Chain A
Amino acid sequence: EVQLVESGGNWVQPGRSLRLSCAGSGFTFGDKAMHWVRQAPGEGLEWVSGISWNAGRIGYADSVKGRFTISRDRNSLYLQMNSLTPEDTAFYFCVKDKGYNILLDGGWFDSWGQGTLVTVSS
């Protein structure tokens, strides 16, 4: 059974940094693209970032480009978030792709973690 467990969510002040982690199990982590998708309370879904199976292709939403950095290692996914603003407040989901790439041959979000809450407020 696929399991994705996020950690690192917290309350932070604007301008500060936070690092999210996601531990994956129950599948061959290195074979799949991975993503972060966020959802502000009561709002819709926003793709934040994705990384292909070998980290050869990485993408970001315009809203986080230059501030957030996605990375991965053998069994974990990470999101380094800098210069946080109140607009970044949301549940952040770690998402496994059905494919190996982040689009075309991927971009299919077939398993989701339970989410970790990031609150940015003074």
Chain B
Amino acid sequence: DIQMTQSPSSLFASVGDRVTITCRASQSIATYLNWYQQKPGRAPKFLIYAASSLHSGVPSRFSGSGSGTDFILTISSLQPEDFATYFCQQSYNTPLTFGQGTKLEIK
């Protein structure tokens, strides 16, 4: 199975900050990497697919990059509604697997 490891596990930031979250795969997954946002008590929301393609309706302050084993989610200027937990997920091979999550909290 492909293991997905996110860092950091938690992150404190302020409104307006630029934030990056890293996701590393245990083997090369090309660009079969997706990102999700989840708020407490809610279902996850789809943000980015194929490492860098923004899902429709997702604000342009979100961006993704990377290929192979190392990937980054960037939020260019944090907004109050962005404080949430973020998960990466590989769609290269089954079983599909998620990272453990990165909780983004207000500083």
Contact = CB atoms under 8 A, between A and B. Distances in A.
B86 to A, nearest CB: 11
B34 to A, nearest CB: 6
Nearest to B55: A110
Interface in A93-122: 93, 98, 102-104, 106-115
Contact of A59 (B32, B49, B95, B100): B95
Interface string B22-45: 000000000010101010000111
Contacts, number: 73
B63 interface: no
A6 B95 CA distance: 22
Contacts of B93: 103
Interface string B70-88: 0000000000000000010
A47 B46 contact: no
A9 to B, nearest CB: 14
Given A59-B96, A93-B44, A113-B43, 5 more contacts: A45-B101, A103-B32, A103-B96, A109-B34, A112-B43
27 contacts: A44-B100, A45-B44, A45-B98, A46-B98, A47-B97, A59-B96, A62-B95, A93-B44, A98-B49, A98-B55, A102-B94, A103-B91, A103-B92, A103-B93, A103-B96, A104-B91, A107-B32, A107-B34, A107-B89, A107-B90, A107-B91, A108-B50, A108-B91, A109-B36, A109-B44, A110-B49, A114-B43
Interface of B: 1, 32, 34, 36, 38, 43-46, 49-50, 55, 87, 89-101
